A and B are shown apart, each in its own frame.
Chain A
Amino acid sequence: MNYELVCGLETHVELSTKTKIFCSCSTKFGGEPNTHCCPICIGLPGTLPKLNKAVVEYAVMAGLATNCKISPVSKMDRKNYVYPDLSKAYQISQYDMPLCRNGWVELSSGRRIRLNRIHIEEDAGKLVHDRGNTFVDYNRGGVPLIEIVTEPDLRSIAEVQEYVEKLQMILRYIGVSDCKMQEGSLRCDVNVSVRPAGQEPFGTRAEIKNMNSFAHMAKAIEYEYDRQVDLLMSGEKVVQETRRYDESSGCTEGMRGKEDADDYRYFREPDLVTILVSDEMRETIQKRMPEDPQKRIQRFLSEYQLPEADARLLIEHRRIADYFEAAAKGTKNPRTAANCILGQIFARLGTEAEKEQFNVTVSPENLHALILLLDTGKIRMNLVKSTLEKMLDSGKPASDFLSEKDLAGISADDLKAICEKAISDNERAAADYRAGKEKALKAILGSVMKATRGRANPQETEKLLADIIRR
Chain B
Amino acid sequence: MVTHEEIMKIARLAKLSVKPEELDGLTKDMNSIINFADTVNSVAAADSDFDNLNNLANVFREDTVVPSFDREEILKNAPNQEDGYFLVRRKM
B85 & A50 in contact (Cβ 8 Å cutoff): no
A52 & B58 in contact (Cβ 8 Å cutoff): no
At the interface, yes or no: A19 with Cβ under 8 Å from chain B?
yes
Which residues of chain B come closer than 8 Å to A77, judged between CB atoms? none
Q: Which of B65-81 contact A (CB under 8 A)?
A: 65-66, 68-69, 71, 74-75
Q: Which of A10-50 contact B (CB under 8 A)?
A: 17-19, 24-26, 32-39, 42, 50
At the interface, yes or no: A200 with Cβ under 8 Å from chain B?
no
Given contacts A34-B75, A131-B90, A133-B90, contact A273 B85 (CB under 8 A): no
B68 & A25 in contact (Cβ 8 Å cutoff): yes
Partner of A274, one of B56, B65, B68, B87: B56
Which residues of chain B come closer than 8 Å to A131, judged between CB atoms? 90
Partner of B61, one of A37, A53, A276: A53
At the interface, yes or no: A54 with Cβ under 8 Å from chain B?
yes
Q: How far is the CB of B43 from chain A (nearest CB, A)?
A: 20
Which residues of chain A come closer than 8 Å to B64, judged between CB atoms? 18-19, 24
Partner of B51, one of A18, A133, A274: A274
Partner of B9, one of A56, A260, A268, A276: A260
At the interface, yes or no: B57 with Cβ under 8 Å from chain A?
yes
A263 to B10, CA, bound (A): 10
A275 & B85 in contact (Cβ 8 Å cutoff): no
A39 to B70, CA, bound (A): 11
A53 to B60, CA, bound (A): 5
In this complex, how many residues of chain B approach chain A with their Cβ under 8 Å: the count is 32
A274 & B52 in contact (Cβ 8 Å cutoff): yes
Which chain A residue lies CB-closest to B61? A50
Interface residues on A, range: 35 or more
A38 & B83 in contact (Cβ 8 Å cutoff): no
Which residues of chain B come closer than 8 Å to A55, judged between CB atoms? 63
At the interface, yes or no: B47 with Cβ under 8 Å from chain A?
no
Which chain A residue lies CB-closest to B66? A24
Q: Which of B12-71 contact A (CB under 8 A)?
A: 12-13, 15, 51-52, 55-66, 68-69, 71
At the interface, yes or no: A345 with Cβ under 8 Å from chain B?
no
11 A-B pairs in the complex with CB atoms less than 8 angstroms apart: A19-B64, A33-B84, A53-B61, A53-B62, A56-B60, A135-B82, A135-B86, A136-B88, A265-B13, A273-B57, A276-B58
**Which A positions have Cβ atoms within 8 angstroms of B?**
17-19, 24-26, 32-39, 42, 50-56, 82, 84, 128, 131-138, 259-260, 263, 265, 268, 270, 272-276
List the 10 closest pairs (A to B, CB-CB), nearest first: A132-B90, A53-B60, A24-B66, A54-B63, A135-B85, A273-B56, A136-B86, A274-B57, A134-B88, A33-B84
17 further interface pairs, Cβ-Cβ under 8 Å (given A34-B85, A137-B85, A259-B12): A19-B61, A19-B63, A19-B65, A24-B64, A34-B74, A37-B69, A53-B62, A84-B86, A131-B90, A132-B90, A133-B88, A134-B88, A135-B85, A136-B87, A137-B86, A270-B52, A274-B57
**Which B positions have Cβ atoms within 8 angstroms of A?**
9, 12-13, 15, 51-52, 55-66, 68-69, 71, 74-75, 82-90
